[in-house]
Amino acid sequence: MSPAETYLSKQIEIAEAAGNETAASAWKSMKQMHHAKQWKQLTGLVREHVAHFREGAPVLHKDLDLEVLYENFIARFADSANPKDVAVILCMISEDIFEKRGEQAAWDFVDKYRQPCKKDAVAAVRLQVGEIELRLKARRNNVLVHGDEIKRRLPEIQEELEKLHGVTEAHAPFFKTSAAFLRETKNYAAYYREALRYLGCEDLGSLTEATKTEYAILVSFAALLGDDVYNIGELLAHPVMQYLEVGEYSWLKDLIVAFNAGDIPKFQALKTSWGKWPDLAENEVFITNKVRLLSIMELALSRAKSNRSLSLQDIAQKAQVKEKEAEFLVMRAVSKNLIIANINEVDKLVTISWIAPRVLTRIQIRSLMKQINAWEKDVEVARVVLEKEADPIFVHQ
């Protein structure tokens, strides 16, 4: 009997002695697969059991030592296993060791068993992401110990990630980890983009409702607080936002809708809710100014392209500022590349020739459809006029 099967037989005995038939059956299945050399199926099953253990719902006995499991069993067939599964198993077990035995023990474990991951590019990147996950756990006085190292390593890992073909198993963990670091550093704009990338790669079905709600809240806050984040249609269209529609955070979904629409009255009406959150209350002026800039874009978008000459009075009314401040607001919108506009100071008119592309909501699309329908009618009228006026010309010739 091989050392691995000896270890498995011992675990079967322990499970049976404890009357844990579920665990005994799981150990027996792994022993059968190991004996039949079904490495792919075995690795997948082990990965599943380790994941359950880490999630607090172990199929195997709850006092199992994962490091011993790897040393006495998984390491024996790791060279024949799927490297991607091995990388994920290594990441999960190293986190378990970190929590129970400390950072150095976790690093020693990863360094000892990383070899099988080197033969697969995806597995290698996934293990590197796991190392960043460990560094994010290391804190002193609630401050990251390895902040500078993480900042240096993330771009290097991203370069390796970009060499991979398609969306791999390494993509979602990378964007998740990168977003977590950006959240730590309060880089809201970068966190907004990275978190959306993560949600775009992740299988949402694998996340709990609580986790999806948490991401909807965090990304919404980042949209509000992020410098130069104005295009949030992608967020509004994302499935996670449905978890804000009912319950205690429904006001946040309403706030994001109002923000995207540049709706100052609605935004202010919701202050009774968002004003209770320090991050938002402390940045009220900043966020309000972003809403005002979006109100100009919305006002221009509501007009046909041939009729985008807006009076400063209209802009001031929409943005709820004094007329003398409206011109400065337009200049800020231009400086942020939200619009291209010409200001006629004599006539107090602003002619907008271009609006930054945005992901549109259904309401915005309906407004655009009305403009397209109006344009079609204008084209039809022009066609009829042209036909009538052209007949005498053709007859004369």
237-267 confidence digits (pLDDT tens): 999 999 999 889 999 999 999 999 999 999 9
The answer as to whether 160 is a domain residue is: no
**pLDDT of the residue at 391:** 59
Check: CB of residue 342 under 8 Å from CB of residue 331: no
The answer as to whether 375 is a domain residue is: yes
Report the DSSP pairing between strands 349-355 and 309-311. Answer: antiparallel
Shared domain for 347 and 274, answered yes or no, is yes
Contacts for 353 with CB less than 8 Å, ≥ 6 apart = 308, 340, 341, 342
User: How far apart are alpha carbons 126 and 143 in whole angstroms?
Assistant: 25
Which of 51, 76, 101 is the endpoint of a domain? 76
The answer as to whether 118 is a domain residue is: no
User: What does 48-110 look like in DSSP terms, one character per residue?
Assistant: HHHHHHHTT--SS-TT--HHHHIIIIIHHHGGGS-HHHHHHHHHHHHHHHHHHH-HHHHHHHH
- Helices (H) and strands (E) counted in the chain, each on its own, are 21, 5
Tally of CB atoms within 10 A around 385: 10
Shared domain for 321 and 387, answered yes or no, is no
Shared domain for 391 and 353, answered yes or no, is no
The answer as to whether 368 is a domain residue is: yes
The answer as to whether 386 is a domain residue is: yes
Check: CB of residue 157 under 8 Å from CB of residue 192: no
**pLDDT of the residue at 291:** 97
Shared domain for 267 and 351, answered yes or no, is yes
**pLDDT of the residue at 62:** 83
The answer as to whether 379 is a domain residue is: yes
Shared domain for 302 and 379, answered yes or no, is no
**pLDDT of the residue at 175:** 98
Q: How distant, in Å, are the alpha carbons of 171, 178, 308, 352 from that of 315?
A: 43, 39, 12, 12
**pLDDT of the residue at 70:** 97
State mean pLDDT over 379-389: 71
State mean pLDDT over 292-320: 91
Q: Which residue has the higher pLDDT, 167 or 384?
A: 167
Q: How distant, in Å, are the alpha carbons of 27, 57, 177, 206, 395 from that of 54?
A: 17, 7, 18, 15, 87
The answer as to whether 187 is a domain residue is: no
Q: Structurally, how many domains does the chain consist of?
A: 3
Question: Tens of pLDDT along 95-142?
Answer: 999 999 999 999 999 999 999 999 999 999 999 999 999 999 999 998
Mean pLDDT of the chain: 92
Tally of CB atoms within 10 A around 262: 22
Which of 53, 76, 99 is the endpoint of a domain? 76
Check: CB of residue 87 under 8 Å from CB of residue 79: no
Shared domain for 346 and 312, answered yes or no, is yes
Question: Tens of pLDDT along 32-45?
Answer: 999 999 999 999 99
Query: Bridge-partner residues for 140, per DSSP?
Result: 143
CATH number at residue 320: 1.10.10.10
Q: Flag whether pLDDT at 290 surpasses 90.
A: yes
Shared domain for 270 and 306, answered yes or no, is yes
Q: Flag whether pLDDT at 367 surpasses 70.
A: no
Shared domain for 342 and 385, answered yes or no, is no
Q: Which domain holds residue 13?
A: 1-19+64-76
Query: Closest by alpha carbon to 258, among 272, 268, 247?
Result: 268
Residue with tokens 């509501």: 302
Shared domain for 14 and 4, answered yes or no, is yes
Query: Bridge-partner residues for 139, per DSSP?
Result: 144
**High-pLDDT (> 90) share of the chain, %:** 83
Report the DSSP pairing between strands 309-311 and 339-344. Answer: unpaired
Confidence label for 368 from pLDDT (cuts 50, 70 and 90): low
Shared domain for 328 and 251, answered yes or no, is yes
Shared domain for 281 and 251, answered yes or no, is yes
Q: Which residue has the higher pLDDT, 306 or 36?
A: 36
Shared domain for 350 and 368, answered yes or no, is no
State mean pLDDT over 40-61: 93
What are the respective helix, strand and coil percentages of the chain, to the nearest 5?
Answer: 75, 5, 20
**pLDDT of the residue at 36:** 95
CA atoms within 13 A on the CB side of 299: 27
N- to C-terminal Cα separation, the chain: 104
Q: What residue ranges in the chain does DSSP mark as E strands?
A: 139-140, 143-144, 309-311, 339-344, 349-355
Q: Flag whether pLDDT at 49 surpasses 90.
A: yes
**pLDDT of the residue at 144:** 94
Contacts for 252 with CB less than 8 Å, ≥ 6 apart = 216, 217, 220, 244, 273, 274
Which of 9, 42, 76 is the endpoint of a domain? 76
Question: Tens of pLDDT along 197-223?
Answer: 999 999 999 999 999 999 999 999 999
The answer as to whether 385 is a domain residue is: yes
**pLDDT of the residue at 178:** 98
Which amino acid makes up residue 341? A
CA atoms within 13 A on the CB side of 226: 23
